[in-house]
Structure 1
Amino acid sequence: MDSDKKRKLLLWVLWILIVPAGLYAVYQSYPPEVLFEWELLAFAAFAVLTALLPLNINGTPMYLVQWVTIAVFLKYGLFIEILMSQLTMLVLLFRTRNAVSRNERFSFNSLMFFVLSTLTGLIFFAAGGEIGSTSFVHIVSYGLLYQLVYLVANHLYLYADDVLSKTSKSFISLDSIWDFLITLLIFPYAITLYVLDAAIGVSALMLLGLPFMVMTVVLRLYNSSEKINIDLKKAGHIGHQLADRLSQDEVIDQFIEHVATMFKTDYAYVIDYRNSQLLVLRIFEDGRLVDMDLPAVPYTQGIAGQVIAHNAPLLFGKQKQWIELSTVQLPKDIESIMATPISRNNKIEGVLLIGSRKEFAFSANQLQIMEILSTYFAVSLEKSGYMEKVIAKSERCGLTKLYNYRYLDETLENCMKEIATGSLDQLSLIMMDIDRFKSINDTYGHQSGNEILIQLADLLREAVGEEGTLARYGGEEFVVLLPHYGKELALLLAENLRKQIADTEFTIQQSIQSDKQAETLHITMSIGVSAAPEDGDDGMAIIRNADRALYTGAKQAGRNKVAAYTK
């Protein structure tokens, strides 16, 4: 039997052993003078209304029902207060949406309310408190004792449960401080209600109850609007952060992390929509990005497909509401889901979908905030796409698409700094020049020469791969920058490149001739190699020495050779 089932069984066993027998014992020991009267029904009505309208502070609901239950205890005694607390417990049970089953929550909450009421009442009587007292000092002093004991016992009970469940939290937390402050707030209302009821009867509930309920509603509305304003500010801040990202991958990663954090979600997905297919671009689960290669599916499938089909967001509070739309891509423990379209220029580009293991974890207001975030995301993604193109143009050779001299120079200088600090142990540079390239241009035309350069760039790109940085240095010169390569290893790579190039047939269209017939030819390259730190302590020296090796050791030695720089 797993721990959850053991906990449920233990709670029900304790409830059966304690609550029915305990309630009977309380009735026998402290019998109520009145079991039912219309005024008691009015108290119960206000207790239920208060339970239905909690204040939400820092995401935690605060229930103010004790302003009624304290007055009921002081007027009717312990047995009636226990019944009233159990009634409000049932209201909270059905009002509160939670991933824990109502079956388990009933046994836990009913037992907790009974134990707290009984313990607090017994301490009240043991200290000398009396039911129905007319002494104001007695009412205030013993009423405050009752309230404080109940507050401390409540937090001790919850803390003990956390410890037993191995989810122990600090006994003194922000929530417990707020609970104490709320207690100080409602205690005067409870005492005033009791005293005023003793003087004028049920009218006291109308005089105090109606203003109290109006105040609660106003505070709830204010708190809700403040929460929306806070979320809007967070959304704006996220939008600014996304706008600062230069690459699309950075934008997507930042976006999904911010969304998951803001909505306290367990799962988040950015889904791309193109060519009538849905493809998951990013997955964020339990606080981290997850690498998962999922196949594309038709856009008509799943929740994302519904969002695209109707171009409208979706909000589900329980799994049974969306399970018919489910695809194999969603984890089985998701309960709540929010999904919004990601649109750009009135065209849907994808879907943002977030999920929580808790039921009813998201609200309609949060769905509106997520729509705003999706708009920020689409705009930032478009901007980063433009920036990537601009950067690519500034860093790449327009003809060969290799890195250009500017990018190579910056990369080389950064590598030399790492050499100087010791974070990079060795660095090699290969410089290559096409032999007799001018005669190729003169014979076949400059367009044919460009074709050679493009094919050569493709060959080098495939041969070098991720081993180094490949750049077009000048007209027919190419450079490979190799971090962590010693000179001997760089010479081996250079020799392999030389042989591969010499053995390759390059195809050109003879642009000088009118018929432009295709023709194949072979080219060779002279190559020079230098390394740091032995051949120089700055980037310009490394390039100059590789160039010197190329011309004196390869070109002047007959071309189609590899030469290393020597001092």
Structure 2
Amino acid sequence: MDNLQKRKAVLWILWVLIVPPGLYLIYQYYPPPAISPVDAAAYLAFFILACLLPMNINGVPTYLVQWLTVAVFLKFGLFAEVILSQITMLIVILRLRTSESLTIRIPFNSMMFFSISTLAGMTFLLAGGEIGSLDLLHILAYGLLFQIVSVVSNQMILYFYVRSLGEHKDFFSTDTIWDFSITLLVFPLAIALYISETYIGLTALLLLGIPFFTMTAIMRMYNNSEKVNSDLKKAGEIGHQLAARLSSDEVLDQFVIQVSDLFQADYAYVIDYRDGKLLMLRMFENNEFQPLNVEPVKYNQGIAGNAIVNNNSYIYDSKAQWKGIASGYMPADTESLMATPISRNNRIEGVLVLGSKSKHAFVHHQLQILDILSTYFAVSLEKAGLIQKAIAKSERCGLTKLYNYRYLDEALEKSMAKVKNGELRNLSVVMMDIDRFKGINDKYGHQSGNEILVALANLLTEIIGKEGTIARYGGEEFVVLLPNYSKELALLFAENIRKEIEKREFMIQSDLDADRSTIPIKITMSIGVSSAPDDSDDGMAMIRNADRALYIGAKQAGRNKVAAYTK
């Protein structure tokens, strides 16, 4: 049995031992007065209405039922207050969105509400408080005592429970201040309800309830408006952050992280729509990126497929609403889902799917925010793609697609800095030049020469792989940077390159032949090697040294050779 199952079992055992026997004892020793069904129904209706209209205070839904709880206790006694508090507890935990299981929340909260009611009620009675009293000073003094004990015991139970789980919680916090403030705020209303109902009956519930719930509704609308404005502001900030990213991968990663944080999603997936299939681009689960090991599915399948086919956004409040639609991958504990198409230039490019372990985790206005963010994302992704193309164009040789000399110079300087600070033990530069390349151009034409350059570039890329960085330095010259290669090791590597090129045939079409026939050509290369820190601690000096070794040590020695720079 794991810790969660043990915790669940302990809570339910404690609940059975505490709540039912406790209710029985309270009923026996403090029985409630006769309550008419109409009174019971009216108070119950107001309790339920108060639970359905929480106010958002300090970013947390707050259920202002204390004014009803105090009034019920003062009029009907402890048993009635305990029963209504238990009903309130059930409504509240069913409405609150949390990842914790109901099988844990129900017994714990039931015991907590029962304990709070019992502690506050017994303190009231033992201190001399009387149920049904009409003495104003008595009502104020003992009613306030009941409220204060309720708030303090609530804070103490929560504090020790959280600490028992090994988590940190401050006893005096912002939440504590809000609890005491709300207690003082609603206490006069509770006293007014109790006294008014005593003299004029249930009409008092309407006289006090209508303005209270009207005020609550107005505050909820105001808070919802504030929430929308806050989310819009955050969406704008996310849009600016996306626009600042220069690569597609950075845009994708930033988008997923920020959207997950904004909507407090446990799961986030960016799905690409391409060639009639849905391909997973990013999987972000529990604040971590996951490997992309999900097979592609047809474009019209599952939650994402539904969003694409109908070109519409969707919110699903629980698994029961989407389990018949879903196909493919989805974590087993997912409850709420929100999906929206990602469009660019009026064409759907993909889908964003957000998931939560809680039911009712997403609200309607978030779809509009998500649509705005998806537009920011699509535009930023397109911009990053254009930037990457521009960078590639400036860093790559247009003919061979290898890095050019500009990129090589920067890479060389960065590598030399690593040698100087100890990140790299060695750095070798291998410079290669095709032997008698001018003769090939003269005999077969420059286009045929270009074909050889492209084929050679592909061969060098294949040979060198991830061992180093290769660039076309100019004309028929190529340079390779080999990090952590000593001069001896670089010479062996260069010799292997030379041998591989020497035995390879390159197929070209002769531009100067009338029939443009395809013919095999063999070439050789002269190679020079220079290493740091042995030969120099300057990047440009390394290039000059390798070039000197190439021409003096290899070309002048008969070509098709590898030579090392010597001082």
Same-fold call, TM > 0.5? Answer: yes
User: Which residue of the partner structure matches residue 22 of structure 1?
Assistant: 22
User: Which residue of the partner structure matches residue 144 of structure 1?
Assistant: 144
4+ aligned runs moved over 6 Å, structure 1: none
Instruction: Trace 1:276-287 onto structure 2 (pairs within 5 A).
Output: 276-287=276-287
SS in 1 for 2:331: coil
User: Which residue of the partner structure matches residue 62 of structure 1?
Assistant: 62
Partners of 1:349 and 1:41 in 2: CA distance: 55
Is the Cα contact below 8 Å between 2:297 and 2:328 reproduced in 1?
no
Is the Cα contact below 8 Å between 2:432 and 2:525 reproduced in 1?
yes
Mean alpha-carbon deviation: is it higher for 482-491 or for 386-395? 482-491
User: Which residue of the partner structure matches residue 495 of structure 2?
Assistant: 495
User: Which residue of the partner structure matches residue 366 of structure 1?
Assistant: 366
User: Which residue of the partner structure matches residue 399 of structure 1?
Assistant: 399
The one-letter code of the counterpart of 2:452 is: I
Partners of 2:437 and 2:53 in 1: CA distance: 84
Instruction: Trace 1:238-277 onto structure 2 (pairs within 5 A).
Output: 238-277=238-277
Mean alpha-carbon deviation: is it higher for 542-551 or for 206-215? 206-215
User: Which residue of the partner structure matches residue 176 of structure 2?
Assistant: 176
> In the TM superposition, what is the alpha-carbon distance from 1:100 to its structure 2 partner?
5.2
Deviation track 1:184-220 (CA, whole Å, cap 9, x = no partner) reads 3222222232344445444433332211111111111
5+ residue gaps in structure 1?
none
Deviation track 1:406-465 (CA, whole Å, cap 9, x = no partner) reads 111111111222222233221110111111111111111111111111111111111111
Change (3 A) 1:550 1:361: same
User: Which residue of the partner structure matches residue 299 of structure 2?
Assistant: 299
Partners of 1:38 and 1:293 in 2: CA distance: 61
Q: How many residues are treated as equivalent by the alignment?
A: 567
> In the TM superposition, what is the alpha-carbon distance from 1:149 to its structure 2 partner?
0.9
Partners of 2:124 and 2:191 in 1: CA distance: 15
> In the TM superposition, what is the alpha-carbon distance from 1:139 to its structure 2 partner?
2.5
Mean alpha-carbon deviation: is it higher for 456-465 or for 112-121? 112-121
Mean alpha-carbon deviation: is it higher for 552-561 or for 172-181? 172-181
Instruction: Trace 1:195-214 onto structure 2 (pairs within 5 A).
Output: 195-198=195-198, 200-214=200-214
Partners of 1:308 and 1:58 in 2: CA distance: 38
> In the TM superposition, what is the alpha-carbon distance from 1:97 to its structure 2 partner?
5.5
SS in 2 for 1:361: coil
The one-letter code of the counterpart of 1:210 is: I
Is the Cα contact below 8 Å between 1:428 and 1:483 reproduced in 2?
yes
Partners of 2:237 and 2:562 in 1: CA distance: 56
> In the TM superposition, what is the alpha-carbon distance from 1:164 to its structure 2 partner?
4.3
SS in 1 for 2:425: coil
Q: Percent identity?
A: 60
1:485 aligns with 2:485: yes
SS in 2 for 1:123: helix
Mean alpha-carbon deviation: is it higher for 19-28 or for 512-521? 19-28
> In the TM superposition, what is the alpha-carbon distance from 1:99 to its structure 2 partner?
5.2
When the two structures are superposed, what TM-score results if normalisation uses the length of structure 1? 0.95
Partners of 1:312 and 1:172 in 2: CA distance: 47
1:35 aligns with 2:35: yes
SS in 2 for 1:349: strand
SS in 2 for 1:324: coil
Partners of 2:60 and 2:249 in 1: CA distance: 36
> In the TM superposition, what is the alpha-carbon distance from 1:40 to its structure 2 partner?
5.2
The one-letter code of the counterpart of 2:71 is: A
Is the Cα contact below 8 Å between 1:35 and 1:80 reproduced in 2?
no
When the two structures are superposed, what TM-score results if normalisation uses the length of structure 2? 0.95
SS in 1 for 2:293: coil
Is the Cα contact below 8 Å between 1:445 and 1:510 reproduced in 2?
yes
The one-letter code of the counterpart of 2:370 is: M
User: Which residue of the partner structure matches residue 433 of structure 1?
Assistant: 433
SS in 2 for 1:270: strand
User: Which residue of the partner structure matches residue 156 of structure 1?
Assistant: 156
Partners of 1:5 and 1:537 in 2: CA distance: 64
> In the TM superposition, what is the alpha-carbon distance from 1:29 to its structure 2 partner?
2.5
User: Which residue of the partner structure matches residue 221 of structure 2?
Assistant: 221
Partners of 1:11 and 1:430 in 2: CA distance: 71
User: Which residue of the partner structure matches residue 342 of structure 1?
Assistant: 342
Partners of 1:508 and 1:129 in 2: CA distance: 106
Change (3 A) 1:103 1:266: closer
> In the TM superposition, what is the alpha-carbon distance from 1:315 to its structure 2 partner?
1.6
> In the TM superposition, what is the alpha-carbon distance from 1:221 to its structure 2 partner?
1.0
Mean alpha-carbon deviation: is it higher for 518-527 or for 55-64? 55-64
C-alpha RMSD over aligned residues: 2.1
Is the Cα contact below 8 Å between 1:60 and 1:175 reproduced in 2?
no
The one-letter code of the counterpart of 1:76 is: F
Partners of 1:139 and 1:555 in 2: CA distance: 108
The one-letter code of the counterpart of 1:49 is: L
User: Which residue of the partner structure matches residue 536 of structure 1?
Assistant: 536
The one-letter code of the counterpart of 1:525 is: M
Is the Cα contact below 8 Å between 1:98 and 1:360 reproduced in 2?
no
User: Which residue of the partner structure matches residue 558 of structure 1?
Assistant: 558
SS in 2 for 1:506: strand
Mean alpha-carbon deviation: is it higher for 183-192 or for 382-391? 183-192
> In the TM superposition, what is the alpha-carbon distance from 1:350 to its structure 2 partner?
1.0
Deviation track 1:520-552 (CA, whole Å, cap 9, x = no partner) reads 111111111111122122111111111111111
The one-letter code of the counterpart of 1:252 is: L
Deviation track 1:243-296 (CA, whole Å, cap 9, x = no partner) reads 111111111111111122222222111111111111111111111111133222
The one-letter code of the counterpart of 1:30 is: Y
Partners of 2:212 and 2:68 in 1: CA distance: 11
User: Which residue of the partner structure matches residue 417 of structure 1?
Assistant: 417
The one-letter code of the counterpart of 1:262 is: L
Deviation track 1:344-389 (CA, whole Å, cap 9, x = no partner) reads 1111111111212222222222222222211111111111111110
> In the TM superposition, what is the alpha-carbon distance from 1:137 to its structure 2 partner?
3.3
The one-letter code of the counterpart of 1:211 is: P
> In the TM superposition, what is the alpha-carbon distance from 1:323 to its structure 2 partner?
1.5
Change (3 A) 1:32 1:280: same
The one-letter code of the counterpart of 2:233 is: K
Partners of 1:553 and 1:101 in 2: CA distance: 76
Is the Cα contact below 8 Å between 2:336 and 2:359 reproduced in 1?
yes
> In the TM superposition, what is the alpha-carbon distance from 1:316 to its structure 2 partner?
1.3
Mean alpha-carbon deviation: is it higher for 354-363 or for 394-403? 354-363
Change (3 A) 1:411 1:8: closer
SS in 1 for 2:470: strand
